[in-house]
Amino acid sequence: MCDKSALRGALSRGEGGCGPDPYTDRVTADSPLVPSVGQAVLHLFCHVPAPPAFSAHALRGAVASARAEGYQVVPAALLGHKADLGLMVLGPDLWRLRRLQSEVQRAGAVPVASYVSLTEISEYAAGVPEEMRQARLFPQLPPEGKRAFCFYPMSKRRTADYNWYSLDFEHRKELMVGHGRVGRTFHGRILQVITGSTGLDEFEWGVTLFGVHPDDLKDCVYEMRFDEASAHYAEFGPFYTGMVGELDTVLAAITDGTA
């Protein structure tokens, strides 16, 4: 173990502290980088050019390889001009997520937006039953019968009038309990996956919604915006909307059946 006083002295002399770090010296791209709790999550939103610039075969191989290693890959055909293909990827190792991203790009898909986050247990949900804890840290996706898809990032507002982080914990917990109560009225219509991204991306959370019908997505977001935790304290980023399906179904929709 490195003696702290010796370390301070070495650093003050411009020396290298306590010598080589046996951990960092052996870290390579093959060394997994995993969260201490939960899973890493990567959302990729891509434009897909026409063949031969895009290889559906190569994309299928990249997704199959990740799935064979236990990673979940949820494909979605997106609506609107922002992107064609959405991939939500969940798994333990950030290096593996990066490799999949590279393989997607080599297949010819062009990322136009992305989001990096981690599954988490909210500080306001401490003590939830173990079954709920596992569902939040290790969600099994996509949920059966919920093909409508929506993703958006959000943060808590920090303004002079409404600063979430100036509220005490009990007040914040009270607001979030009420917020969750509204969300639970959509049980059976919506599955909500909230992942944490503070320090990892531009917003503080990523919100992924899976709905039975597209208007379930609309109704859920609309109703929850009236709740005080959202009405006063929420800031939202861009929305990406589409349909979840088997990879071949999604590719056929994106490429007009030519993939």
Cα 56 to Cα 211: distance, rounded to the nearest angstrom = 27
Q: Among all chains, which residue has been given the structure tokens 């909307």?
A: 241
Contact by Cβ (8 Å): 164, 233: yes
Residues 68, 74, 78, CA angle at the centre, nearest 5°?
A: 145
Please return the burial class of 12, using the count of CB atoms within 10 Å of its CB with bins 0-12, 13-18 and 19+: exposed
Q: Which residues contact 27 (CB under 8 A, 6 or more apart)?
A: none
Q: Which residues are within 8 A (CB) of 164 and not within 5 positions of it... i.e. 6 or more apart?
A: 156, 157, 158, 172, 233
Q: Could you confirm whether 152 is annotated as catalytic?
A: yes
The structure tokens 């201490």 sit at 36
Ramachandran region, residue 145 (left: φ > 0; alpha: ψ -120 to 50; beta: rest): left
* Catalytic entry in 71, 152, 233, 240: 152
- Token pair, residue 210, equals 């899976």
User: CA-CA distances (angstroms) from residue 131 to 136, 150, 205?
Assistant: 9, 25, 22
The catalytic residues are 152
